[in-house]
Structure 1
Amino acid sequence: MKSFLAADAFLNRTVVLIGGGSGIGFAVAKMVVSGGGRVVLGGRRVDTLTEAAAKLGTSATWQIVDTANQSTVEALFAQLDSVDAIFTTAATYITGSLRELSLEDAASPFDSKFWGQYRVVKAALPVLTEDASVVLMAGAAGARPAGAASAYVAANAAIEGLARGLAVELAPVRVNAISPGTVDGNLWNRRPQPVRQAAFDHFVDASLIGRLAQEDEIASAVIYLFLNGVTTGSTLYPDGGYSLR
């Protein structure tokens, strides 16, 4: 995808991307760097982070971060003087039905995806610039439940609510959420082919535009939320119309 950014769109700006070593986060990192910005990548895997930073060049640094561990999150922001934008894609959780999942597994989307992002924003507060932009990662399932995964659906809806609440609480810092549908990329490529194909076929059939999103398309929506100075408390749905059917 050809970059739509001006070469100086992120000049002198620092963007923290937790989960930025791969997938959508890495796609965002490439766009920020192409716009003259500096990226700080966070994640749990040294090999993934070092490879991503090498591809991005001197504008990228990295640090081990586990969003389930508040001390590692705080350590990341303690080394930074200021942060202009944050996006967190790192999360590990289990989905399934009310009948099948243990309470511990059912809570995992909240424990990792919701509270993980909450921890990140809380730790970043001392270094956020006045016009900083925080983008939270939710998902289209929060608006249109798919299958038997009620706790996962609720977690995504809660993240959208968190974006609205934080937009009010942290103003003039802007806080928004993004709720993609199924994306053809890194996350699904790690799953068994039959599972992946079944999910892809369902989503293509259920969406309005009849195709999957690519990681760069989701990243472009994140970049919009980073840069648009009057958008806050909103949720974008780059889901091909899935949530409308």
Structure 2
Amino acid sequence: MEKKVFLITGGSRGLGKKVVERLALNKEHMICFTYLNSQDAALQLARETGAFSLQCNQQNGDEVQDTVRKISSTFGKIDVLINNACPAFTPTDFLNSDSDHFKSLLDIHVMGAYFFSRETSPLMRDRHSGKIINILSSYVFNLPPKKIAHYITAKYALMGLSKALAVELIPYGITVNMISPGLMATDLSKYLPRKYLEVYSANHPMGRMASTDDAADILEFLISDQADFLNGINIPVNGGETF
């Protein structure tokens, strides 16, 4: 089996951490992940898994370029990019929203994915092989909750970018797909009211929130050779919330 190089953005916690841990079980592959502020958690994860951690502010195109260059100069390629980075945020009434905070979420989700996709795509194009997977949210399929207009807008914008790249990059052997997990027990959900989480789980078809393992299972499939003929799809990982 050819040794592959994976890059996961926002890999120090939540779903990103779970994916790093899963992929690191295969010692044939090299796992790289980025983080912004969680240095202690990132270094611990790197020690435990043997993964390569890099601090990067993905709102800054120059930092992203430098990060990708470090990986490519060390390992010679990047086979799979998983755009996962998602900062914790506070639910806010739209009428009381702050434009800087709103723009920051857009920059991290959309511009961050744009920068990383732009820098890794030429490496994939040169080998006529590569996969980009973007993490969305099941809210793009159904009615979103109130007070997270910034988050919803960012995820819809990322979905648009994903579909555009799926069309534009496939001639170079690069597929672009998405997964949309349901609400997961991560740092993000801690900012939601407990009552909302209780009602959500009680009304869910499976009676629970999604887990990071649920999402990681689908990601492992999408990065496998069995998913080579999939392109431009968005897989809901939400236990039947939407059909």
TM bracket (short chain): 0.7 to 0.9
TM-score (norm 1): 0.85
Contact 1:138 1:160 in 2 (8 A): yes
TM-score (norm 2): 0.86
Contact 1:94 1:105 in 2 (8 A): no
1:151-166 counterparts in 2 under 5 A? 151-166=150-165
> Counterpart of 2:45?
52
Q: Deviations over 1:106-158 (max 9, x none)?
A: 33331221221111111212322422111111111222212233342222122
Comparing 204-213 with 219-228, which one deviates more in the overlay? 204-213
Q: Tell me, what secondary structure is at the counterpart of 1:133?
A: strand
Q: Tell me, what secondary structure is at the counterpart of 1:27?
A: helix
> Counterpart of 1:218?
215
Contact 1:142 1:155 in 2 (8 A): no
Contact 1:203 1:242 in 2 (8 A): no
CA distance in 1, matches of 2:193, 2:90: 16
Query: Which stretches in structure 1 are left out of the alignment for 5+ residues?
Result: 1-7
CA distance in 1, matches of 2:34, 2:102: 26
> Counterpart of 2:29?
37
Contact 1:94 1:108 in 2 (8 A): no
CA distance in 1, matches of 2:178, 2:221: 12
Q: Deviations over 1:166-209 (max 9, x none)?
A: 01111120101111111123543xx36xx453342132134322
1:93-172 counterparts in 2 under 5 A? 93-128=89-124, 129-144=127-142, 145-171=144-170, 172=173
Query: Which stretches in structure 2 are left out of the alignment for 5+ residues?
Result: none
Contact 1:25 1:88 in 2 (8 A): no
Q: CA RMSD in A?
A: 2.0
Runs of 4+ aligned structure 1 residues displaced above 6 Å come to: none
CA distance in 1, matches of 2:65, 2:196: 36
- Identity, % of aligned pairs? 20
The reply to whether residue 87 of structure 1 matches residue 82 of structure 2 is yes
1:26 to 3, 10, 17: 17
> Counterpart of 1:232?
231
